[in-house]
Amino acid sequence: FCFSEQNFDFFYFVQQWPGSYCDTQKSCCYPTTGKPAADFGIHGLWPNYQDGSYPSNCDPDSPFKQSEISDLRSSMQKNWPTLACPSGDGIQFWTHEWDKHGTCSESVLDQHGYFEAALNLRNKANILQSLTNAGIQPDGKSYSLSSIKDSIKEAVGYTPWIECNVDESGNTQLYQVYLCVDTSGSGFIECPVFPRSGKCGSEIEFPTF
């Protein structure tokens, strides 16, 4: 096994809308550090193969170490907040993401580089601003899937994939936005393959948070 070998084809960079995570039957818990801003947060940076499959949990010998990202902590709390229950400070979520996905891109990004890359991508892709600039607001109203995708493509330059989930009343809503990233983790690319997850329908709700 050659450690410098690149053993994945691209990344999915996935952001989540907190309003849609929270208004489901499962509900959510705010982080111990307080209610996150009404903005998209990072879910993860996921190595993937061209055929749609993906590696996971690649290196049990590389545990998440808080000390390696202490300089990124406040930015992580702001941009990568956890909404799962019970409430946590984010460490559990980031540990999960590192263990499951981050360890599969260690040939190009060490732990600090991995989290820093995700934060930089978040700065490059301001999804909420892309949408509000096009008049698409988190106001509980419905918007066409195509207008949502077009406004993100317009602002970011690349076609996103939208994953929907279902609120307590059964409405389909904007949950996650996928963008594809080159193997260095630094720039967006057109997706080699789109995920299959999260059926939307042509009109979807954009809930408040």
User: Quick one: which of 73, 78, 96, 124 contacts ligand 5GP (CB under 6 A)?
Assistant: 96
Of 13, 17, 40, 46, the one binding ligand 5GP by CB under 6 A? 46
> What is the SS3 assignment for 75?
helix
Please give the helix or strand (H or E) that residue 179 lies within, else none.
strand 172-181
Residue closer to ligand 5GP (CB basis): 82 or 151:
82
Whose CA is closest to 179, among 52, 48, 42, 12? 12
Query: In this structure, how many other beta carbons lie within 10 angstroms of the beta carbon of residue 143?
Result: 19
Phi-psi region of 52 (alpha: psi -120 to 50; beta: other; left: phi over 0): left
106 noted as active-site residue: no
* Residue among 68, 96, 97, 106 flagged as catalytic: 97
Q: Which listed residue (73, 78, 149, 153) binds ligand 5GP by CB under 6 A?
A: 149
The whole-angstrom separation of Cα 59 and Cα 106 is: 9
Which one of the spans 110-118, 120-128, 135-143, 161-169 is the region binding ligand 5GP (CB under 6 A)?
A: 161-169
**100 near ligand 5GP (CB under 6 A):** yes
Question: CB under 6 A: which stretch of 61-69, 120-128, 132-140, 157-165 binds ligand 5GP?
Answer: 157-165
Considering only residues 110 through 139, tell me which ones interact with ligand 5GP, judged by CB under 6 A: none
CB of 127 to ligand 5GP, least distance (A): 13
Positions 5 through 44 that interact with ligand 5GP (CB under 6 A): 12, 16, 21, 43-44
Q: Find the shortest distance in angstroms from Cβ 124 to ligand 5GP.
A: 20
How many Å apart are CA 119 and CA 156, to the nearest integer? 16
101 assigned to active site: yes
Structure tokens given for 102 = 């981050």
Token reading at 87: 């409430």
Q: Please check whether residue 197 is in contact with residue 129, taking contact to mean a CB–CB distance below 8 angstroms.
A: no
Nearer to ligand 5GP among residue 112 and residue 153 (C-beta) = 153
Do 163 and 197 meet the contact criterion of CB atoms below 8 Å apart? yes
Residue 97 catalytic?
yes
Is the CB of residue 81 less than 8 Å from the CB of residue 41?
Answer: yes
Q: For residue 5, what is the DSSP state?
A: S
Contacts to ligand 5GP by CB under 6 A: 12, 16, 21, 43-44, 46, 48, 54, 82-84, 93, 96, 100, 145, 149, 161-164, 195, 197-200, 202
The residues annotated with a catalytic role in the active site are 43, 97, 101
